[in-house]
Structure 1
């Protein structure tokens, strides 16, 4: 596909950049509303399919609620190519792994273990636990960088 359009690269990332830059010459996430006194941009709910897929998520659409009319197409392309939901997915996985205390364990019929399958929980305490976990995750949770060093993100809590 890239060779037909005159691009000599075989890099999926570069081809996606070229593709999106061309698309954003005409594609808009907002529509212009013109009144008698002024004009403004309004969110149009006009998603675009992300050109790079992942094995675990497949094709996905990207939308932008922020008005990007002052950005050049190449700048919007960089934003779209760098968007992902990895941080949100990681946080949800931490919730799943760390908040089992909200479930009331039941002993199995054989009595050899605990089961959480029919557990009840109080939504009030679930919300409190999520707030605590979110605060810990945002201000205290260390993570490994690509260099493999254990570091902590500089946040207002560390100042």
Structure 2
């Protein structure tokens, strides 16, 4: 449900039921995947002396971070299946825009 969705045909009880069933599990899972798999977007490390943060592995060019997130998003949606209700599918398969689980080389070489 989007804030621009036309809800005029629905009863207030139906709208309330839809709103109560909204969750952000998929968005949280993707954000956690970004934090775990992209070192350029990791939180800074604490120095051994404890006097501050170390940005030794940080990349300060946001263009590279955007490119890395795009690659990870494509991998997440088309290559990384997860199991729900005993069915293992990628998010793209669940939406009906892909018919198979792709391998990373399929994405990189446009197969």
**Which bracket does the TM-score occupy, shorter chain normalised?**
0.5 to 0.7
TM-score (norm 1): 0.45
The 2-side partners of 1:156 and 1:146 are apart by 20
Structure in which a larger fraction of residues adopt strand: 1
Match of 1:89 among 25, 28, 43: 28
Structure in which a larger fraction of residues adopt helix: 2
Between Structure 1 and Structure 2, how many residues are aligned? 88
Structure 2 residue ranges without an equivalent (≥5): 101-111
Runs ≥4 residues deviating over 2 A: 63-67, 155-159
Match of 1:134 among 50, 73, 91: 73
SS of the residue aligned with 2:98? Answer: helix
Q: Which residue of 2 aligns with 1:152?
A: 89
CA contact (8 A) 1:140 1:152 kept: no
Q: Which residue of 2 aligns with 1:31?
A: none
TM-score (norm 2): 0.62
| Superposed CA RMSD | 3.1
